[in-house]
C-alpha cells in the first residue's frame, strides 16, 4: 500500500484486496450496536452515576451525531474505491498496464479529500477500538508475534487492526 | 487610693492578635467583634486521560497538542505518563472548561473523565 499526500488530499493506492476490504468494513465496525463498542465510543465522563447521567443527557447525542457524520463521510469516500492492476498508477491512463489483468494482481485505490482527513483520522481511531472489542482481542494479543498465533481468525483480526493503525499514523504524520 | 481604672492601666507589652508585640501604653477598649466573610473558591477539576491498548502514542501526542495547545515536549511527556502509569492528569481548572476538554477528548476517542482535584478537597 502506498500513501501519497497531494495538494488537495491523500491517495491510498496499491492496496491489496485485504486492505481494501478492511477499509470497507470500517464504517460498520464503528456503527456497531454492540453495547461494549457503544460504551467505549461514548465513555463515562464522571465516576458518579448521577453526574454521568446528566452529562450524557446534555452531550451524549452531540457526540453520536458527530461520529455518525464522520462515518458517513468515510463511507461516501469509500464509494469511490477503484480497482486497478498491480503497478498501475492511480491517475486515469497513467502507467498503462501491458500485462493481462488477473484477480491476484488486483489493487485498490481511494482518494481522501483534504477536508475529509479529520473525519478519516477519527473514524480510523474509532474503528481500532470497535474492532478490538468485536473480535475479542486483548492487550496480550497485541504483544504477540503473528507467527506465534495459531488461531487464524485472531491473526486476521490483528492484521486488520494494524492496517487501521498504520493508515491512521501515516495520515497524521507531518 | 482607689485602684486604677482597668480600662486605662498601662502594661509594658502585650500580644496582638497576629502574634506581634508592641509597647502597650494605649487605652484598652472594649473587645472587638470580628465579622469575617469567607469566600471559598469552587474546587478545581482534573481532566484525567487513561491508557488503552490500541491507541498509538503518536495519536495521543497529536490530540494533546490540538486540544490543549500544548507544545510537543509537554504533550509527549503527558502521553508517556499515561502510557507508563495508566493515567495522567492532563489539565486542571474550572469545571466548565474541564467538561469541554473531556467532551473534545471523547470526540477523539480517548478515554477521559473528570475528577475533583485533591488540592482543594
* Closest residue, chain A, to B99 (C-alpha): A45
> Is the sign of the CA dihedral B102, B103, B104, B106 positive or negative?
positive
A41: number of CA atoms within 13 Å, CB side?
32
Q: Flag whether B62 is in a domain.
A: yes
- Out of B53, B59, B106, the one facing A43 most closely (by C-beta) is B106
The pLDDT, as a whole number, for residue B9 is: 40
Is B106 close to A45, i.e. CB distance below 8 A? Answer: yes
- Kindly state whether residue B74 falls inside one of the protein's structural domains: yes
The domain total for chain A is 1
B95-107 helix and A61-78 helix, angle to the nearest 10 degrees: 30
CA separation for the pair A89, A4 (Å, rounded): 12
CA dist B111 and A32 (Å) reads 19
A74: pLDDT strictly greater than 80: yes
The runs of H, that is alpha helices, within chain B are 57-68, 72-85, 95-107
| Contact: A45, B113; criterion CB under 8 Å | yes
Q: What CATH code is carried by the domain that includes residue B71?
A: 3.30.1390.10
Nearest CB partner across the interface for A63, out of B52, B107, B115: B107
Instruction: Give chain B's domain count.
Output: 1
pLDDT tens digits for B80-113?
A: 999 999 999 999 999 999 999 999 999 999 999 9
Q: Is residue B38 part of a domain?
A: no
In a domain, residue B39? The reply is: no
Instruction: Check residue B88 and give its pLDDT.
Output: 97
Is B7 a member of any domain?
no
The pLDDT, as a whole number, for residue A29 is 97
Domain hosting residue B86, numbered range: 45-120
Contact A47 B113 (CB under 8 A): yes
Q: Which residue would you say has higher pLDDT here, A47 or A101? A: A47
Range of the domain at A42: 2-172
Beta strands in chain A (DSSP E): 2-6, 9-15, 82-85, 106-113
Tens-place pLDDT, residues A118-159:
999 999 999 999 999 999 998 888 877 777 777 888 899 999
Q: What's the distance, Cα to Cα, between the start and end of chain B in Å? A: 61
CB crowding B11-40: b at 16 or more within 10 Å, else e: eeeeeeeeeeeeeeeeeeeeeeeeeeeeee
Interface check for B76 against chain A (CB to CB < 8 A): the answer is no
- Per-residue pLDDT tens for B30-39? 566 667 777 7
Q: Taking CB atoms and an 8 Å cutoff, what residues of chain A touch B114?
A: 45-46
**Position B24 in a domain:** no
Q: Could you tell me if A128 lies within 8 Å of chain B, comparing CB atoms?
A: yes
Amino acid at each position: 500500500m502506498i500513501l501519497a499526500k497531494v495538494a488537495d488530499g491523500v491517495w491510498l493506492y496499491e492496496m491489496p484486496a485485504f486492505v481494501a476490504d478492511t477499509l470497507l468494513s470500517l464504517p460498520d465496525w464503528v456503527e456497531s450496536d454492540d453495547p461494549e463498542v457503544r460504551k467505549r465510543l461514548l465513555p463515562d465522563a464522571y465516576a458518579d452515576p448521577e453526574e454521568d447521567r446528566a452529562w450524557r443527557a446534555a452531550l451524549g447525542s452531540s457526540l453520536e451525531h458527530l461520529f455518525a457524520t464522520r462515518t458517513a463521510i468515510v463511507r461516501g469516500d469509500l464509494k469511490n474505491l477503484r480497482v486497478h492492476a498491480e503497478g498501475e498508477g492511480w491517475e486515469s491512463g497513467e502507467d498503462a498496464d501491458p500485462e493481462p489483468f488477473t484477480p491476484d494482481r488486483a489493487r485498490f485505490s481511494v482518494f481522501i479529500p483534504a477536508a475529509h482527513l479529520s473525519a478519516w483520522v477519527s473514524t480510523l481511531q474509532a474503528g481500532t477500538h470497535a474492532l478490538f472489542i468485536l473480535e475479542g482481542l486483548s492487550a496480550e494479543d497485541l504483544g504477540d508475534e503473528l507467527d506465534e498465533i495459531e488461531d487464524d481468525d485472531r491473526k486476521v483480526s490483528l492484521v486488520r487492526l494494524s492496517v487501521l493503525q498504520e493508515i491512521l499514523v501515516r495520515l497524521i504524520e507531518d | 487610693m482607689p485602684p486604677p481604672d482597668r480600662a486605662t492601666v498601662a502594661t509594658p507589652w502585650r500580644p496582638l492578635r497576629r502574634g506581634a508585640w508592641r509597647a502597650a501604653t494605649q487605652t484598652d477598649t472594649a473587645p472587638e467583634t470580628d465579622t469575617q466573610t469567607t469566600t471559598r473558591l469552587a474546587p478545581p477539576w482534573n481532566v484525567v486521560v487513561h491508557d488503552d491498548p490500541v491507541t498509538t502514542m503518536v495519536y495521543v501526542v497529536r490530540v494533546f497538542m490540538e486540544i490543549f495547545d500544548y507544545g510537543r515536549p509537554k504533550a509527549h511527556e503527558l502521553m508517556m505518563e499515561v502510557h507508563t502509569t495508566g493515567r495522567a492528569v492532563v489539565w486542571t481548572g474550572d469545571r466548565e472548561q474541564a467538561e469541554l476538554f473531556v467532551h473534545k477528548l471523547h470526540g477523539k476517542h480517548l478515554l477521559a473523565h473528570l475528577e475533583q482535584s485533591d488540592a482543594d478537597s
